[in-house]
Amino acid sequence: MAEGIQWPRNAPGILEALPQSPFDAALCCAWKQRVELGLFRYRLRELQTQILPGAVGFVAQLNVERGVQRRRPQTIKSVRQAFDPEQFNFNKIQPGEVLFRLHREPDLPGTLLQEDILVVINVSPLEWGHVLLVPEPARGLPQRLLPGALRAGIEAVLLSLHPGFRVGFNSLGGLASVNHLHLHGYYLAHRLPVEQAPSKPLDPGGHLHLLQGLPAPGFLFYTRGPGLDLESLICRVCRATDYLTDHEIAHNLFVTRGAPPGKTSPSSALTGVRVILWARKSCFGIKDDPWPST
């Protein structure tokens, strides 16, 4: 897995300007093939992008076609809503929408009795390379974060050589559009404030931090990479999301290359992976929001 990934100093983070890992090459090549096959709802072109003025430096993008042509989101009534096979789910997609499968070697630490993770296109892409990570779709798992799914998301970020490849998870009531377990992955060629935002510890062991300096403080977890540290992080994060789900508290999760917790600066190195968890006000019914959807 790739280590020491950094943004280039004098070049944009576009895919063509950075080296590719085998994961990046496979994803981008297969994604481009699906574009040529016409499997997307629209042809994604260069998006209008601006860095908003202010201390935070939010990245804003305009994607009109996504707002108009995406699949109608499902009606969500509970964070713990059961899977409904009659609704749209990832067992109903076209075979060509599957790019490839992620499969863990059986002798790797932390391996669970888990089938392959399907990597499929998001037919209404938010950005270039927008994919969905779908674990064991035939099981009909509801949109509730599980350790194997989180592990796949973090390892996908670690497999990429692009610092802008991120993974996200939306709970039910947290603007998830489909009640079938999945995570989002996509390339965004811009630095984000969450990569280096400062934080303060919330526990004596320094395993849980509060992200600061942003309009929406979140819980920050950090790992330098594979091994026992990663497995411990997965356990802690899923314990937190289980609590939120069991108490009907919607949430969003974001995985990105980032600096270690604590005091940081704009030049802090992205030495590991940050997992940020936000508890949020639930939004039930049919969503109408520009956050990533299927």
Active site residues: 182
SS3 content of the chain, % helix, strand, coil (to 5): 20, 20, 55
**What Cα–Cα distance (Å) separates residue 44 from each residue in 10, 32, 65, 107, 117?**
26, 11, 8, 40, 25
Alpha helix ranges (H) inside the chain: 22-36, 64-69, 147-159, 228-246
Tokens of 142: 């509801």
Looking only at the bridges linking them, the beta strands covering 219-223 and 272-279 are: antiparallel
- Of 144, 145, 112, 103, the closest CA to residue 231 belongs to 112
Per DSSP, the three-state class of 146 is: coil
How many residues does the structure list for the chain?
A: 294
Whole-angstrom distance, CA of residue 33 vs CA of residue 35: 5
